[in-house]
Amino acid sequence: MHRLYHVPLSPFCRKVRLVLAEKKIEVELVEERYWEADTDFLRRNPAGKVPVLKMDGLTLAESTPICEFIEEKHPTPPLFPSDPEGRYEVRRLVAWFDDKFHNEVTSKLLYERVNKKIEKTGYPDSSNVKAGAKAIKFHLDYMSWLLDQRRWLAGPSLTLADFAAAAHFSALDYISDVDWNRTPNVREWYATINSRASFRSFMADNVPGFTAPAHYADLDFLRGRRLGGVSPQT
Dihedral-angle region of residue 23 (phi above 0 means left; psi in -120 to 50 means alpha; beta otherwise):
alpha
Does 229 have pLDDT greater than 50? no
List the domain boundaries for the chain. Answer: 2-73, 84-204
pLDDT of res. 231: 36
Structurally, at CATH architecture level, domain 84-204 sits in Up-down Bundle (1.20)
* 211 CB-near residues (< 8 Å, 6+ apart): none
Q: Which of residues 83 and 233 earns the better pLDDT score?
A: 83
pLDDT tens track for 156-211: 999 999 999 999 999 999 988 899 999 999 999 999 999 999 998 898 888 888 88
Domain 2-73 adopts which CATH fold? Glutaredoxin (3.40.30)
* 190 CB-near residues (< 8 Å, 6+ apart): 166, 169, 180, 222
pLDDT of res. 226: 45
pLDDT tens track for 101-124: 999 999 999 988 887 877 777 888
pLDDT of res. 223: 63
pLDDT average, residue stretch 94-106: 99
Most distant pair of Cα atoms in the chain: their distance: 49
DSSP string, 66-80: HHHHHHHH--SS-SS
Q: Where are the alpha helices (DSSP H) in the chain?
A: 11-22, 39-44, 63-73, 84-95, 107-110, 116-119, 126-149, 160-174, 184-194
- Measured CA to CA, the distance from residue 115 to residue 111 in angstroms comes to 5
pLDDT of res. 206: 84
pLDDT band (50, 70, 90) for residue 4: very high
pLDDT average, residue stretch 137-141: 99
pLDDT of res. 212: 83
- Measured CA to CA, the distance from residue 27 to residue 46 in angstroms comes to 22
Mean pLDDT rounded to a whole number for the chain: 90
Cis preceding-peptide flag for 46 (omega within 30 of 0): no
pLDDT of res. 222: 65
Asked whether the beta carbons of 9 and 24 are under 8 A apart, the reply is no
pLDDT tens track for 41-93: 778 888 778 999 999 999 999 999 999 999 999 999 999 999 999 999 999 99
- Measured CA to CA, the distance from residue 52 to residue 48 in angstroms comes to 10
Asked whether the beta carbons of 92 and 99 are under 8 A apart, the reply is no
pLDDT band (50, 70, 90) for residue 221: low
pLDDT of res. 220: 62
Measured at the CA of 46, the angle between CA 30 and CA 80, to 5 degrees, comes to 65
Does 225 have pLDDT greater than 80? no
pLDDT of res. 39: 72
pLDDT of res. 11: 97
Please report, as a single letter, which amino acid is at residue 125.
D
189 forms beta bridges with none
